[in-house]
Amino acid sequence: MAHAYPARTGRHPGWPARLGALRVSVGVVELRPVRLRDGAAWSEIRIRDERNLAPWEPSAPGTWVQRHSIVEWPGRWAALRAAARRGAALPFAITVDRRLVGQVLIGNVVREPLLSAYVGYWCDSRVNGAGVTTAAVALVLDHCFVQVGLHRIEATVRPENGASLRVLEKLGFRREGLFSRYLDVDGAWRDHLCFALTIEELPVGGLAAQLVARGRAERVEGPHGA
């Protein structure tokens, strides 16, 4: 009997994976699983970029600096790795010229019959505005729709987050509605716009190919070695 979704083998198809590479103005964008030894770079960027990141991220106990000190990373990394092994998440590091600059997290993976997940992302302000996140998310979404076999990816964004809204717009996400008081962010329950993309909406050849065709990125050989 035919199904709307393809038969898949393995507990978590498409993980672990290395994705890329796309060249943008600031360097070569690739993705790989987050690593235990990412802690120093993660902590340095996250503490330096508190003002850019805190307005958009879930509230949590402790100060920002406490929550992003280097000793916090092993626990976070272990939780991400465990979720990935369960098949519930794909926690990617974004690298530019092999240097950590951010993360793309595919979370809340629900398999048949929903085949759905959410995408979240952040990126070092030193390379913002160069198309790094758009390139990274394009590569991850192509992977999720093909190798992972997902049907729908959603993203929720505060209406005030112009840069993130623009990333979703460039990737062709469709606005679905407003979630009132959806998430406790930066100390209060904040409204979020909900966007989604399903496999039927993927451009022919995929999102990365579309970025290349639009002159927003250039395909290069990859993935590069560690």
d(CA 142, CA 201): 12
Residue 132 contacts ligand COA per CB under 6 A? yes
Regarding 166 and contact with ligand COA (CB under 6 A), the answer is yes
Q: According to the binding rule CB under 6 A, does residue 69 interact with ligand COA?
A: no
The residue within the footprint of ligand COA, chosen from 93, 106, 123, 148 (CB under 6 A), is 123
> 199-221 burial by CB neighbour count: b if 16+ within 10 A, else e?
beebeeebbbbbbbeeebbeeee
Interface with ligand COA includes 159 (CB under 6 A)?
no
**Least separation in angstroms between CB 128 and ligand COA:** 3
Residue 56 interacts with ligand COA (CB under 6 A): yes or no: yes
Q: How many residues line the site for ligand COA (CB under 6 A)?
A: 20
19 touches ligand COA (CB under 6 A): no
Judged by beta carbon, residue 89 or residue 132, the one nearer ligand COA is 132
**Binding of ligand COA by 217 (CB under 6 A):** no
Contact call for residue 107 and ligand COA (CB under 6 A)? no
CB nearer to ligand COA: give 115 or 123: 123
Indicate whether 130 belongs to the interface with ligand COA (CB under 6 A). Answer: yes
Specify the stretch interacting with ligand COA by CB under 6 A; choose among 25-33, 70-78, 124-132, 201-209. Answer: 124-132
